[in-house]
Amino acid sequence: MTPSSEPIKAEGWVRTRRDSKNVSFIEISDGSCLKGLQAVLDRSRFSDKDLEDVTTGSSVVVEGCLVSSQGSSQSVELQAESLTVIGTCPQDYPLQKKKHTVEFLREKAYLRPRTNLFGAVTRVRNTMAYAVHSFFQENGFVYVNTPLISASDCEGAGAQFQVTTLDLENIPKGEDGKVDYSKDFFGKLANLTVSGQLEGETYALAMKDIYTFGPTFRAENSNTARHLAEFWMIEPEMAFCTLEGDMDIAERFLKYIFSAVLDKNAEDMEFFSRFVLAGVRETLEHVIESPFEHMTYTDAVKILERHNDRFEFPVRWGVEIQSEHERFLTEEIARRPVIVTDYPKDIKAFYMKMNDDGKTVRAMDVLAPRLGEIIGGSEREYRLDVLKERMKELGLDESAYWWYLDLRRYGSVPHSGFGLGFERAVQYVTGVANIRDVIPYPRYVKSCEY
């Protein structure tokens, strides 16, 4: 901001107030940036009575001119000509000027956006959401809204939340003693979606390149710093595209949204680097500049096996790569994001394209230092016979996926896609340790406040 002779109006909430004999300083925040605006009130013009209600948390409107500041911590300040307190704020306001823990703030989730930390997270999240759309729009992708209530179980990606209007005190049962879903709202069992992928595929096979960006629900019973029960997922799906194209888009996409934050939120990134995670900004710069590492699951396992003494869950070919292994690969071996490909078919979903070895599938996970998996994706099996065979092997009911199979009968084509957990990406960019602190109102096991 630069000084101006025209009066301006500042509307916001009082962060702090400091009084000296001749002047009072009020820091006003309106969420637009990290630093508040300092208003200076000449005590010859404003009485004690005028200032009586100017307490931390109160909302005010201050009018005056911006002048160069004599203080060292801001370039301009507001020389107040008028002051109106709109809403008073009593002493029990929870956000008094002192450092609060994130645990404390989680319990005050309706007020935490007024803190430096959550203000910064909110602005960065906003930049990233906008960048998600910009990236795909600039690259010719079409934004598609897939349903949130779904009757198809996407691969059993996670436990699902059931959607029902049945009276739980009096559930209708059939003669076999099972719940009679024909009496339910949709006439069948329905759930909240765990992924929009299957529906996304149908649109990719018409529009070529599409993406979704919407809420996703998983009844994850795990109490981790990386899992929510309700999170936002971005799922692009590309037709005429193999795994190589998929990985290329994933890398360019991540770098694009990271760069957007460095461009637009320099002050917030400085804050995260100083108060949340040392060096988080430099890490991001490094990630943007260097190509991601690529390795197959088989090679990753070879590396990890040599260090099995360090892991809680020892690794051998065929087992899931867990978060401790993902971190080891990215933090100790590659020192940057790693894309692991060609996982054993038995630990991946039915729709992933089978490799010629008959043992592995064209899957890819993007692993990031500190977090582990942030993207999961694959080339999809587009050959009807191979897909049917795979479903039979897994005991999946073909009739439940009839339309998904039809897609392989009517003009099938190689296609690929991935899912990025939006909150994981925000966590990565900001350095915030717990996923519960990068979404306004986190939902997780035994917690659905506000």
Does the footprint of ligand ATP cover residue 15 (CB under 6 A)? no
CB of 193 to ligand ATP, least distance (A): 12
CB of 386 to ligand ATP, least distance (A): 21
**Closest Cα to residue 252, out of 375, 426, 378, 125?**
375
The residue written with tokens 């005010």 in the block is 60
Q: Is the CB of 8 or the CB of 225 nearer to ligand ATP? A: 225
Binding mask 393-422 for ligand ATP (x = CB under 6 A): --------------------------xxx-
Task: Mark 340-354 as b/e (b = at least 16 C-beta within 10 Å).
Answer: bbbbbbeebbbbbbb
CB of 347 to ligand ATP, least distance (A): 10
Contact with ligand ATP (CB under 6 A): which of 19, 50, 53, 220? 220
Q: Is the CB of 40 or the CB of 131 nearer to ligand ATP? A: 131
Mapped onto helix, strand or coil, the DSSP state of residue 366 is strand
**Cα–Cα distance for residue pair 35/199, rounded to 1 Å:** 44
Bridge partners (DSSP) listed for residue 233: 214, 421
Contact with ligand ATP (CB under 6 A): which of 15, 114, 125, 218? 218
Size of the site for ligand ATP (CB under 6 A): 18
Contact with ligand ATP (CB under 6 A): which of 17, 227, 281, 390? 227
Q: How far is CA 248 from the centre of its chain?
A: 21
Q: Is the CB of 26 or the CB of 420 nearer to ligand ATP? A: 420
Q: Is the CB of 184 or the CB of 379 nearer to ligand ATP? A: 379
Kindly write down the DSSP assignment for every residue of 316-336, as one continuous string: -TTSPP-HHHHHIIIIIIISS
The CA-atom distances, in angstroms, between 337 and each of 115, 196, 283, 360 are 31, 25, 11, 22
Q: Is the CB of 281 or the CB of 436 nearer to ligand ATP? A: 436
Does the footprint of ligand ATP cover residue 424 (CB under 6 A)? yes
CB of 222 to ligand ATP, least distance (A): 8
Contact with ligand ATP (CB under 6 A): which of 39, 128, 198, 228? 228
CB of 28 to ligand ATP, least distance (A): 35
Q: Is the CB of 186 or the CB of 313 nearer to ligand ATP? A: 313
* Segment 139 to 158, residues that bind ligand ATP, using CB under 6 A: 157-158
* Segment 229 to 258, residues that bind ligand ATP, using CB under 6 A: 231, 233
Q: Cβ atoms within 10 A of the Cβ of 364, count?
A: 26
Binding mask 158-177 for ligand ATP (x = CB under 6 A): x-------------------
CB of 407 to ligand ATP, least distance (A): 20
Q: Is the CB of 15 or the CB of 325 nearer to ligand ATP? A: 325
Which two three-digit tokens encode residue 401? 């996926």
Q: What phi and psi values does residue 26 have, to the nearest 5 degrees?
A: -120, 130
Binding mask 349-388 for ligand ATP (x = CB under 6 A): ------------------------xxxx------------
Work out whether the CA dihedral 364, 368, 372, 373 comes out positive or negative: negative
- If 0-12 CB within 10 Å is exposed, 13-18 middle and 19+ buried, where does residue 283 land? buried
The residue written with tokens 């599409």 in the block is 210
Backbone angle region of 57, left / alpha / beta, with phi > 0 → left and psi within -120 to 50 → alpha: left
Percentage helix, strand, coil for the chain under 3-state DSSP, each rounded to 5: 35, 25, 40
Q: Is the CB of 239 or the CB of 371 nearer to ligand ATP? A: 371
Q: Which amino acid is at 135?
A: F
Report the chain's terminal Cα–Cα distance, integer Å: 37
Binding segment toward ligand ATP, per CB under 6 A, in 9-17, 55-63, 219-227, 406-414: 219-227
What 8-state DSSP symbol labels residue 380? Answer: B
* Segment 28 to 67, residues that bind ligand ATP, using CB under 6 A: none
Cβ atoms of 192 and 180 within 8 Å: the answer is no
The residues that touch ligand ATP, with contacts defined as CB under 6 A, are 157-158, 218, 220, 226-228, 231, 233, 373-376, 419-421, 423-424
